[in-house]
């Protein structure tokens, strides 16, 4: 049966006493979510697949975070590819876009992902609704989106994470396995019972998971896939959550972005074009600010400053 829904499944491994083992996993299928991202932009194939893989990865990682907010994954490079960016909220609302040298499409098509990103940076941002944002910036290490993220999670976060990602014209899919940090150690300050400690479990699950094919990842329903890969293991599969394309842009967020350009810059655009036009890179929505709107958004800034000054 073709998996045609946009879902994220969470699963955990259990030992023979039905106690959870400190290894968790997620499976994701993005069909409509991925297609809607592609509707708003025409991408060279290599970038389309990389963006799809990054989308699948962002949903898989987002589901491991205990955070109410957004996870943003960015690949920045200075060559033919400028930027791949994916945002995934804790509700699995997703948006994604790419920037590249549009005059060199045929050159880009001849490249593999690694050539386009090898001197680039990987940036991960956690933006909680409450509290401070976190941002990590590292050089890109790895020849694929999956390798790059595995390296990041291990070196920067000290968390063993394995990823399998696949993307084609129709859908993006992926699987994640993650070793919980207290694996084989002391749980909550109390030594884990010796009987429950399965030292080889992480290696065994990875070995089994490594047999997954792109076709299986893309087409098999979660239950069938897990049974095929880990037939001898006890797995608890949770109810899936759905993913969807959603762009959070609106008149206010665009106005805030324009304010950051500053009064002088905005007035010079107005003087030249008579209006300020902004297209959202994620959803292509068009925003228009005339002289009156611009004066208003600058006045809002002034009043915000005054109210801040009072505190
Ligand atoms: Zn938008």
* Distance from the alpha carbon of residue 253 to the mean position of ligand 1, in angstroms: 10
- CB neighbour list of residue 69: distance below 8 Å, 6 or more residues apart: 89, 90, 126, 127, 128, 129, 130
Reading phi first (left if > 0) and then psi (alpha if -120 to 50, else beta), residue 150 is in: alpha
What residues are neighbours of ligand 1 (ion), with CB under 5 Å?
247, 249, 280, 282-283, 285
pLDDT for 58? 98
pLDDT for 30? 98
How many Å from the N-terminal Cα to the C-terminal Cα in the chain? 61
Residues of the chain with pLDDT under 50: 1-3, 183-195, 307-311
In the chain, residues under CATH classification 3.90.1280.10 are 251-310
Vertex 258, ends 257 and 264: CA angle to 5°? 140
* Distance from the alpha carbon of residue 277 to the mean position of ligand 1, in angstroms: 14
In the chain, residues under CATH classification 3.55.30.10 are 7-245
* Distance from the alpha carbon of residue 171 to the mean position of ligand 1, in angstroms: 21
pLDDT single digits (tens) 145-185 = 999 999 999 999 899 999 999 999 999 999 999 998 654 44
* Distance from the alpha carbon of residue 82 to the mean position of ligand 1, in angstroms: 19
* Distance from the alpha carbon of residue 264 to the mean position of ligand 1, in angstroms: 25
How much is the pTM?
0.88
pLDDT single digits (tens) 179-234 = 986 544 444 444 444 445 577 899 999 999 999 999 999 999 999 999 999 999 99
- CB neighbour list of residue 132: distance below 8 Å, 6 or more residues apart: none
How far apart CA 291 and CA 297 sit, in angstroms, is: 10
How far apart CA 57 and CA 297 sit, in angstroms, is: 37
For residue 53, how far is the Cα from the chain centroid?
9
Other CB atoms closer than 10 Å to residue 277's CB: what's the count?
A: 10
pLDDT for 303? 59
Superfamily of domain 251-310: HSP33 redox switch-like (3.90.1280.10)
* Distance from the alpha carbon of residue 153 to the mean position of ligand 1, in angstroms: 29
Superfamily of domain 7-245: Hsp33 domain (3.55.30.10)
How far apart CA 18 and CA 257 sit, in angstroms, is: 51
């Amino acid at each position: 049966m073709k998996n045609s829904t946009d879902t994220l499944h969470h699963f955990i491994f259990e030992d023979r006493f039905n106690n959870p083992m400190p290894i968790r996993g997620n499976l994701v299928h993005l069909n409509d979510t991925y297609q809607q991202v592609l509707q708003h932009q025409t991408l060279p194939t290599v970038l389309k697949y990389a963006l799809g893989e990054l989308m699948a990865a962002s949903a898989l990682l987002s589901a491991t975070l205990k955070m109410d907010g957004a996870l943003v994954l960015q690949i920045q490079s200075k060559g033919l590819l400028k930027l791949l960016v994916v945002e995934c909220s804790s509700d699995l609302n997703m948006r994604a876009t790419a920037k590249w040298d549009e005059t060199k499409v045929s050159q880009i098509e001849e490249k593999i992902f690694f050539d386009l990103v090898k001197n680039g940076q990987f940036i991960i941002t956690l933006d909680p609704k409450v509290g401070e944002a976190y941002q990590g910036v590292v050089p890109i290490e790895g020849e694929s989106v999956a390798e790059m993220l595995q390296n990041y999670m291990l070196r920067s976060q000290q968390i063993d994470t394995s990823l399998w990602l696949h993307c084609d014209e129709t859908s993006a899919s992926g699987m994640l396995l993650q070793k919980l940090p207290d694996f084989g150690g002391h749980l909550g300050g109390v030594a884990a019972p010796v009987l429950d400690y399965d030292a080889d479990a992480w290696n065994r699950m990875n070995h089994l998971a490594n047999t997954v094919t792109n076709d299986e990842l893309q087409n098999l329903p979660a239950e069938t896939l897990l049974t095929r890969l880990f037939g001898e293991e006890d797995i608890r599969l949770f109810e899936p959550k759905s993913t969807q394309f959603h762009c959070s842009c609106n008149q206010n967020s665009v106005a805030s972005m324009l304010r950051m350009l500053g009064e002088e810059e905005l007035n010079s655009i107005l003087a030249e074009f008579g209006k300020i036009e902004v297209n959202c890179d994620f959803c292509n929505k068009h925003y228009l600010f005339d002289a009156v709107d611009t004066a208003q958004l600058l006045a809002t800034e002034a009043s915000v400053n005054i109210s801040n000054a009072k505190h």
